[in-house]
Amino acid sequence: MELLHTVVGPVSTNVWVLGDERSREAIAIDTATPCVDWLTSQLAERGWTLKLIVSTHGHWDHIGDNTPVAEATAAPIAVHALDRHRLVDPQPLWAPFPIVPSVPAVELAEGDEIRFGEIGLTVLHTPGHTEGSVCLLAPEDGMLLAGDTLFAGAWGRVDLPGGSADAMTESLARVLGLEDRLRVLPGHGATTTIGRERPWMELVRDGRLPVR
């Protein structure tokens, strides 16, 4: 697997692209504005075909270039069913520019496998930041694409539309069960590992660090 990354937009959203070098198939995760020019140039440079656009959740800072990327690549858009309405009818709270609606063609659900080339990602439904937030687990490659569920030293906000402190607590307890070695690729900020975040996540699980 080859991993590409850029940071875009007014709140520094991480855009991730995973490519299978043998098949030249790729997926993009969280195509925020403005990433379409960067993404299409990276695909063209490598001769990759984009097979899927995954939105880890439906907040404006993660979906703004969904439609431009889909139009440029013919790749379908995927999101959990509980966040589908956020793409179809975006509510861009505090967004400094319009957010173009996008229409998902693929509904993600717990336990689904996303395959491109010889690479497989497992969908983990991790509500809390929104009802339909997901993480993507690549155990063979030692990675967790965490969206806004887990950051280095923090969890995603639960005071935005769709947020739930109780759901986030349960999701973090679930993520805590993953292997320490897993590299966490979040929706914002620096990468980390499950092992590095384990101490404070155990406090959350045990009720000693309340999610607010």
pLDDT for 92-113, tens place per residue?
A: 788 999 999 999 999 999 999 9
pTM tops 0.75: yes
**Is 212 among the domain residues?**
no
Three-class secondary structure of residue 34 per DSSP:
coil
**Is 210 among the domain residues?**
no
Span 142-153, average pLDDT: 98
Output the pLDDT for position 100. Answer: 95
**Is 190 among the domain residues?**
yes
- CATH of residue 126's domain is 3.60.15.10
Torsion sign across C-alpha atoms 80, 133, 174, 168 = negative
**Is 22 among the domain residues?**
yes
Output the pLDDT for position 94. Answer: 84
62-79 core/surface letters (b: 16 or more CB in 10 A; e: else): bbbbbbbbbeebebebbb
Instruction: Tell me if 105 sits within 8 A of 115, measured CB to CB.
Output: no
**Is 68 among the domain residues?**
yes
27's tokens: 């997926």
Output the pLDDT for position 184. Answer: 98
Q: What range defines the domain where residue 188 resides?
A: 2-93+101-205
**Is 145 among the domain residues?**
yes
* Structural domain total, the chain: 1
**Is 27 among the domain residues?**
yes
**Is 211 among the domain residues?**
no
How confident is the prediction for the chain on average, in pLDDT?
Answer: 97
